[in-house]
Amino acid sequence: MTKITRIKCGNGNCFCAEQGDSSMLIDTAGTKYLDKILSVCKGKNIRLIVLPHGHVDHIQNAAALQRELGAPIAMHISDIGLIQNNLADTVMKVGHNNEIRGSSWKKAQKPA
């Protein structure tokens, strides 16, 4: 079963989804929430950072979190153009495949 932790970031949320010994971070919020997100994610073996879309209030911490957590960043190929140069070291283009680096993620339960 997938455990989902909500990380409240002002008017928005980030989520840490844990399944077994691997986790993914969904959304990266604005810069003032970097320390809060890191405190939740440290030690959780984050293997992927998912950007649901390219709006600035959802991507500002992407590069910093990638460096700190050592995880690649993924977003839908249609939103790649919204990312400015140097935002992230690597962006994986994700289409319709839910297998990422050998881990297959199942549909998760709704967060509490």
- Residue ranges of the domains in the chain? 3-99
Extract the tokens encoding 38: 């890191």
d(CA 104, CA 112): 23
More confident of the two residues 108 and 90: 90
Whole-number Cα distances in Å, 103 to 14, 20, 36, 106: 21, 10, 26, 10
Check whether 92 has a pLDDT greater than 70.
no
Contacting residues for 38 by C-beta, under 8 A, at least 6 apart: 65, 68, 69
User: What pLDDT score does 86 carry?
Assistant: 39
63 touches 85 (CB < 8 A): no
Check whether 102 has a pLDDT greater than 90.
no
pLDDT tens-digit profile of 58-74? 788 988 999 999 998 88
Confidence of residue 54 (pLDDT cuts 50, 70, 90): confident
**The CATH number of 3-99 is which of 3.40.50.720, 3.40.50.1980, 3.60.15.10, 3.40.50.12780?**
3.60.15.10
- Rounded mean pLDDT, 87-106: 46
User: What pLDDT score does 91 carry?
Assistant: 53
User: What pLDDT score does 97 carry?
Assistant: 44
User: What pLDDT score does 84 carry?
Assistant: 54
- Rounded mean pLDDT, 34-52: 94
- Rounded mean pLDDT, 13-20: 95
